Amino acid sequence: MKTFSYLVPKTLDEAVSLFESHSDRVMYVAGGTDVMVKTKQGKIAPDYLISLKHLSDLDKVKMNPDTNELIIGALATHRTLETSTLIRRQFPIIHDAVQHIGSTQIRNVATIGGNIVNAVPSADGAIPLIALDGVAKMYGPNGERTVDLIHFFEGPGQTVLEAGEILTEIIIPSQSSHTGGAYQKVGRRAAMELPLIGVGIVLTLEPDSAVCQKARICLGVAAPTPLRTLSAERFLTGKVLNEDILIEAGNIAAEESRVRDSIRGQAWYRREMVSVFVRRMGLKCLKRIEETN
């Protein structure tokens, strides 16, 4: 493995200025579960790694009491999210996803921000956050900006982050009442698994009826970047939700998906799983709505 200098800034500004002073031979690193593997494999060979692990407060998961927004620090580990009572109670869809990423050992160090920034088509950490209309907050040489998480991804390994920019937070906007979410990773084994497909759904019903006010159906590994199946979402909106409607939505979503064959799985099977799990997760959303109201 090529050696590198390991830099440990304490503030965002320090991190950004370190990045700028070492220009193109530098990379940010958080948990290191991707960066270190790639470095060992010789796929990347940075001269400097800037650790983001010691930036204060960016590893927190908390509610903003004024806005009722959920703030997830990009440096929060998957394990932090997995074991958070707040997440488990109020955002079970996030818990659904993070508990199955890698292994406990990996979740102890790997961060949600790293998962998102890596932007590999098979990473499914972002799917529930997109389904929750999450917003990515970034900080860089030109200051702070935000972008809807669905627009954060530009292609495999490609994001809107500019040189030196750091993903700092994911903001989940306040959720309406009668909202439920659920996520399913479809894989072959119980741990150390990349999904064949990931299905995240968030549904909001009109109070005291089963009419769908808002639907988000977000798929992982169904396209080069996370995919919202807009036709299926539109199909659900305004309808009284039941199993038949969800079956139809599943079929629409399956057609919208852009799955492909790879050694990990065949396209036809992935497509089948989209339709199966859109229905199942849809039903799970309804159940969760019922349980919380």
Partner 1 sequence: MGTKQKYSTVGKRVPKLDAIDKATGRAQYIQDVKLPGMLYGKILYSKYPHARIVNIDTSKAEKLSGVRVVLTGEDIPNIRMGVYKDNPPLKAGKVRSYRDEVAAVAATEPEIAKKAIDLIEVTYEALPSVFDPITAMQPDAPLVHENHKTNILKMPWKLHYGDVETARKEAAHVVEKQFTTTWVTHCCLGTSGAIADFDNNNNLTIHTNTQIPSLAQKDFQETLKALGIPDKRVRVIKPVIGGGFGSKLDTYAYEHVAILLAWHARRAVKVLFDREEEFVATSTRQPTIIDIAMGCDTEGRLMFRDINMVLDNGAYTSWGVTTPSVMMMPITSLYRVPNVRYQAKCVYTNNTYAQAMRGYGNPQATFAIESAMDILAEAAGIDRLEIRRINSNQPGDETPQGFKITTCGLPECINAVEKVLDIEKPKTKGEGIGIASLIHVGGGARIYKSDGCGAIIKLDDFGKADVFTGASDMGQGADTVIAQIVAEQLGLEVEDIHVIHQDTDICPWDVGAHASRTTFVAGNAALGAAKKIRSRILELGAELMGITQTKLDLRNRHVVAQDEPEKTMPIGKLLRKAHFSHGGTMMMADFFYDPANENMGRDFRGNLSMTYAFGTHGVRLKVDEETGKVEILDYVAAHDVGRAINPMLLDGQVHGGVMMGVGYALTEQVILEKGRNMNPDFRDYKILTAKDAIPLTPVVIETIDPDGPYGAKGIGEPGCVPTAPAIANAIYDAIGVRILDLPITPERVLAEIKKKKGVDSCGIDPLTEKEQPC
CB of 113 to partner 1, least distance (A): 21
Establish if 263 lies at the interface with partner 1 (CB under 8 A): yes
Q: Specify the DSSP class assigned to residue 110.
A: -
Alpha helix ranges (H) inside 23-91: 35-41, 78-83, 85-90
Binding mask 97-136 for partner 1 (x = CB under 8 A): ------x---------------------------------
User: In the set 45, 120, 191, 240, which binds partner 1 (CB under 8 A)?
Assistant: 191
Cβ(198)–Cβ(124) under 8 Å? yes
HSE (CB half, 13 Å, CA atoms) of 267?
8
Binding mask 242-261 for partner 1 (x = CB under 8 A): ---------x--xx------
HSE (CB half, 13 Å, CA atoms) of 99?
15
> CA torsion 188→103→219→67, rounded to 10°?
160
The span from the CA of 249 to the CA of 244, in Å, is 9
H or E segment and range at residue 7: strand 5-7
Site for partner 1 in 210-239 (CB under 8 A): none
Establish if 6 lies at the interface with partner 1 (CB under 8 A): no
Nearest Cα residue to 20 out of 195, 119, 209, 162: 162
Structure tokens at 92: 């079970």
Establish if 265 lies at the interface with partner 1 (CB under 8 A): yes
CB of 135 to partner 1, least distance (A): 31
User: In the set 61, 271, 284, 286, which binds partner 1 (CB under 8 A)?
Assistant: 271
What's the full length of the chain, in residues? Answer: 293
Establish if 138 lies at the interface with partner 1 (CB under 8 A): no
User: In the set 123, 166, 273, 278, which binds partner 1 (CB under 8 A)?
Assistant: 273
Establish if 179 lies at the interface with partner 1 (CB under 8 A): no
Nearest Cα residue to 58 out of 146, 132, 160, 167: 167
CB of 276 to partner 1, least distance (A): 5
Q: What are phi and psi of 223, to 5 degrees?
A: -165, 175
CB of 124 to partner 1, least distance (A): 14
CB of 187 to partner 1, least distance (A): 9
Contact range with partner 1 by CB under 8 A, out of 28-36, 43-51, 212-220, 271-279: 271-279
User: In the set 86, 192, 211, 240, which binds partner 1 (CB under 8 A)?
Assistant: 192
Nearest Cα residue to 28 out of 59, 17, 169: 17
User: In the set 17, 231, 237, 266, which binds partner 1 (CB under 8 A)?
Assistant: 266
HSE (CB half, 13 Å, CA atoms) of 161?
24
Residues that bind partner 1 (CB under 8 A): 1, 103, 186, 188-192, 194, 251, 254-255, 263-269, 271-273, 275-276
